[in-house]
Structure formats: structure tokens, C-alpha cells
Chain A
Amino acid sequence: GENVEQHPSTLSVQEGDSAVIKCTYSDSASNYFPWYKQELGKGPQLIIDIRSNVGEKKDQRIAVTLNKTAKHFSLHITETQPEDSAVYFCAASNPPNNDMRFGAGTRLTVKP
């Protein structure tokens, strides 16, 4: 089955700097890669996703890149703000069951 690894487990940056979180997956059949943000005491919320027919996607300060050959994808947050502080999860989904496999999470702290 699919295995998703996520690095780093914790990340601390200064406000205004960029943050990068990386994930690798094992199943080449995976074709959907979402990123979720989880704030303390809440459920995860989708912030951006990418499908396997696209190499990069951007939404304001957030971007995701996908390298299918290497089986890794990354989340890039530019101009970080204190409200970006949260736990971020990557995930991979593949047919036929569409069940999602999550990385272990990255706790991002943005220092003002």
C-alpha cells in the first residue's frame, strides 16, 4: 500500500521568510496530492491540492510542486505570517479505493 513520508517534523521560521515542507510517496499509481492545515483543537482544512497531470500549482502565497518521476511533492509558503503557524499534513490518494494516506505532519512556527 501507499506510504507517505513528510519532512521536517518541525519547522521554525521568521515572519516574512519562506517555508518549505517536503513529502515522498511510494505508490506510483497515486494521482492526487492534497495539503491540509490543522490549527490547534480543530480538524484539518484543505489549503491546496495538485493532481498528477500538473507539475505546479499556486494560490497566492502558497504553492505546491510535484515530481512524479522522483515521487515527491512539496509545499512552499512565501512571506510567512504568524497565522500560518499550524500543523501541515501532506497526503496521497490513488485508485481504485481512493483512500487517502497522510504524512506524519509538520509543525510550522512563524516567529513575529
Chain B
Amino acid sequence: DGGITQSPKYLFRKEGQNVTLSCEQNLNHDAMYWYRQDPGQGLRLIYYSQIVNDFQKGDIAEGYSVSREKKESFPLTVTSAQKNPTAFYLCASSIWTGSLSGANVLTFGAGSRLTVL
């Protein structure tokens, strides 16, 4: 079955530690995204990547970093610079349809819940 896998499902971190969330997809999608979900605020875009070795900041990139060395993988590192990292993190992927069509159907993973102790 094709899909998008996030790990770990639950993660606990002490203040001052960096943590990395994994996201792997076997859908052959070009684009991958990271969203943060907080209660009552919907989904906010952290970073996205249209192609390998390229990525762009979203609305709330501060305190986060990403890499896109392989098409299938888009790991997110939550650094100690992120002041309020406790949240539910969602990874998504899509076919990159190009700027003219403006339509990108997202497939989401099951999410990773990060708690800072």
C-alpha cells in the first residue's frame, strides 16, 4: 500500500534538546510539507519542499529545520530555539502540479505528538 509514514507517534523532549521527526512516503510525490497543529488554530505551514535538495520556509519556520536529500524523505528537526514546541506535527505530500494549476491534493501522515517536559 502506498502511503506516508511518520515516526515516532509520540515523543517526549527535555527543554534544550533537539529532536528529529521522520516522514517517509512511497507515493512518488514530488512535494512534501510539514504542518504544526495546535488546538483551535488549524494547521500552520512550517516548511515545504517541491523537489529534492530544495525547500522553502512556511509561516512558522523559526526554530525548525528540514532537509530533502531523497524524494521519499523529509525529516523535521525541532531545535532548542523553538520556544513552544509542544504540538501535533503533520507531514504531507502531493504531486507537484505546477504553479499555473494551483491545485495540490495533500496526503497526510498520521502525525507525531511532541511533548516538552
Please report A residues at the B interface, Cβ cutoff 8 Å: 1, 4, 6, 9, 30-32, 34, 36, 41-46, 49, 51, 89, 93-105
B108 x A45 contact (CB < 8 A): yes
Which listed residue (A6, A31, A100, A105) contacts B106, Cβ 8 A? A100
What A residues does B96 contact at CB under 8 A? Answer: 98
**Which residues on the B side are within 8 Å of A32 (C-beta)?**
102-104
Number of contact residues on B: which range applies?
Answer: 20 to 34
Q: Is the CB of B102 within 8 A of A49?
A: no
Question: In chain A, what residue has the closest Cβ to B48?
Answer: A99
CB pairs A–B below 8 angstroms (21 shown): A9-B40, A31-B102, A31-B103, A32-B104, A41-B111, A42-B110, A43-B6, A43-B108, A43-B110, A49-B105, A51-B103, A89-B43, A98-B99, A98-B104, A99-B45, A99-B58, A102-B35, A102-B42, A103-B42, A104-B41, A104-B42
Task: Name the A residues within 8 Å of B97 (CB-CB).
Answer: 98
Q: A43-B109, A100-B104 are in contact. Are A105 and B99 (CB under 8 A)?
A: no
**In contact, A46 and B105 (Cβ under 8 angstroms):** yes
B90 within 8 A of A: yes
Residue B56, interface by CB 8 Å: yes
Question: Chain B: residues with CB nearer than 8 A to chain A?
Answer: 6, 31, 33, 35, 40-45, 48, 56, 58-59, 90, 92, 96-97, 99-111
Q: CB-CB < 8 A to A4: which residues of B? A: 42
CA–CA, A102 and B37, complex, Å? 10
What residues of chain B lie closer than 8 Å to A101, measured between beta carbons?
45
Q: Which residue of A lies closest to B98 (CB)?
A: A98
| CB atoms of B40 and A104 under 8 A apart | yes
* Neighbouring A residues of B104 by C-beta, 8 Å: 32, 93, 98, 100
